[in-house]
A and B are shown apart, each in its own frame.
Chain A
């Protein structure tokens, strides 16, 4: 058996354990080890993508128990691409954290960082609903502790809210799992897809309630309105490097929607087909517009970046909410863009705030910056990408979303909302830019220069954004191929269950 699919889960788990045990080792050694582990994860991401790019499914049955009894990991184009994206964001975030000594303000930062990666890659690779829950919990418990890292009243307050909200989310997740299991008798995603059309008529309401409760949970993770208010204060209060990594966490919620609804509740699900369709698109449009207004209303740079992340998740979910092949393609192209922009924005905002002295992130006072040119250039590049202006990837992503909406009944509304959002974001970012960088007089700030290594770490996500445009052709083709894979879930089911499909009818004895 090819063990590649399990390595992106084992590597951060083992690296995190080693870092916990090696607490007394010299800092340089621990940092070096963490960086090497994250770089190896990057290589594993590349390896997974190469293995899955041809359209094959890598199915890994843990303990070699046959599916659907075993826990399976499934690698397809979507999960492989997202593991790679996670690793790219993680490299930038970890490098920035180390350069700015963020790992030294509290214990176990490096170990928790690895556990965070473990939760994300596990959630991306699992082919089982209950394991998705378990990996979500690993991801969340690591994120709570990373959010709290360094402490302080603002962080503790934000963390309390996030933890309570997500614990309620976990309870709803378990209710949903129970409902779906009661109706279908399985939690393996491929097996769910197989049996969904044969759910007894009396059990259909149970399965429907379960599916929609799951959507609430994923909406909470993805910060879909009306469940997005926790994100800006929490991300603004956390350490910048951590916030950059958190840009990936919301995308795991989006991934779960993209993974589960086309597969298990797609066209073949008979009475349960398209349960999520009436909900995702309207809420996503509202999230997008509300996020843009949040950027306008923010009085603090990092809160503004938080709302920008909400807005871009909204745009992403508009593409997902079309529930069509072209919509998936747009979403898959826009997803890395959205993640990288949010990560870059949090890092650049931190560099800017470091040179503003006592004014910090507040957008009122005008403070001369020491390196207004360099930081203004970086912030300008991020703003262009975030607002969706050419020549960066945000523009092409939005064009794909708009084109994908063409076939939809509500196309005029979607176009109007996407374009209006872009306009609001441009105005808001121009206002923030002029408040930060545009000042009369020639005085230069007294603050220390930005560490070139921190600038280098920040340019990792920006460089990846440029790659997304420079390699636009292959990236678009890959997005379309991935969308084709998502729109035809039969391949996934066959890869997991293989010839055994249909051989497991008698395992529920208590019905």
Chain B
């Protein structure tokens, strides 16, 4: 039996994260929605990382013309996206807690049950 390719594994991971994230986003309470956004941002980060094409077994960096090395730009993009996503998630946690205090419910539409 042959191993699944790196691309297939990565695509599968992104698909599962996205599908779970979207499912949770559609829930009616703030905590699942928050988890959904976190999973979606994981999927995005993996996707951005893969956008430079996946390479196995190459040098991380090289100044030699004939040595293949992975594209560093997506890695820089992912780092930025992780930092921004982290800050945004923290803000959303605070707003969700505040909404719970102000409206007395954790439903996203703010309606009391």
A interface list, Cβ under 8 A from B: 130, 134, 137, 141, 144-145, 148, 151-153, 156-157, 159-161, 163-164, 167-168, 170-171, 174-175, 177-179, 181-182, 187, 508-511
Contacts and interface: CB of A to CB of B under 8 A. Distances in A.
B80 A159 contact: no
Contacts of B96: 160
Contact of A171 (B30, B44, B70, B95): B44
Please classify the interface of chain B as helix (H, G, I), strand (E, B), loop, or mixed, using the class held by over half of its residues: helix
Contacts of A157: 99, 102-103, 109-110
Given A164-B37, A171-B40, A171-B41, A152 B68 contact: no
A164 B44 CA distance: 16
B47 A144 contact: no
Given A160-B108, A163-B92, A175-B47, A509 B69 contact: yes
Interface residues of B, number: 41
Interface in B60-86: 68-71, 73-74, 77, 80-81, 84-85
B89 to A, nearest CB: 8
Main secondary structure of the interface of A (DSSP, over half): helix
B52 A181 contact: yes
Given A141-B88, A151-B102, A159-B95, A174 B81 contact: yes
Given A175-B47, A510-B69, A156 B95 contact: yes
Nearest to A172: B44
Contacts of B40: 168, 171
Given A509-B68, A510-B68, A167 B92 contact: yes
B74 A181 contact: yes
B51 A181 contact: yes
Contact of B51 (A160, A179, A511): A179
Contacts of B30: 160
A178 B48 contact: yes
Contacts of A170: 84-85, 88
Contact of B102 (A153, A182, A510): A153
23 contacts: A137-B88, A153-B103, A157-B103, A159-B95, A160-B110, A163-B88, A164-B33, A164-B92, A167-B41, A170-B84, A170-B88, A171-B44, A177-B48, A177-B51, A181-B52, A181-B77, A182-B51, A182-B53, A508-B71, A509-B68, A509-B71, A510-B52, A510-B55
Contacts of B103: 153, 156-157
A175 B43 CA distance: 9
Contacts of B45: 174
Question: Most B CB atoms within 10 A — which of A144, A145, A508, A509?
Answer: A509
Contacts of A168: 25, 37, 40
B91 interface: yes
B80 A134 contact: yes
B57 to A, nearest CB: 12
Contacts of B110: 153, 157, 160
Contacts of B102: 151-153, 156-157
B4 interface: no
Given A141-B91, A157-B103, A167-B37, A510 B44 contact: no
Nearest to B84: A137
A170 B70 CA distance: 26
Contacts of A141: 87-88, 91
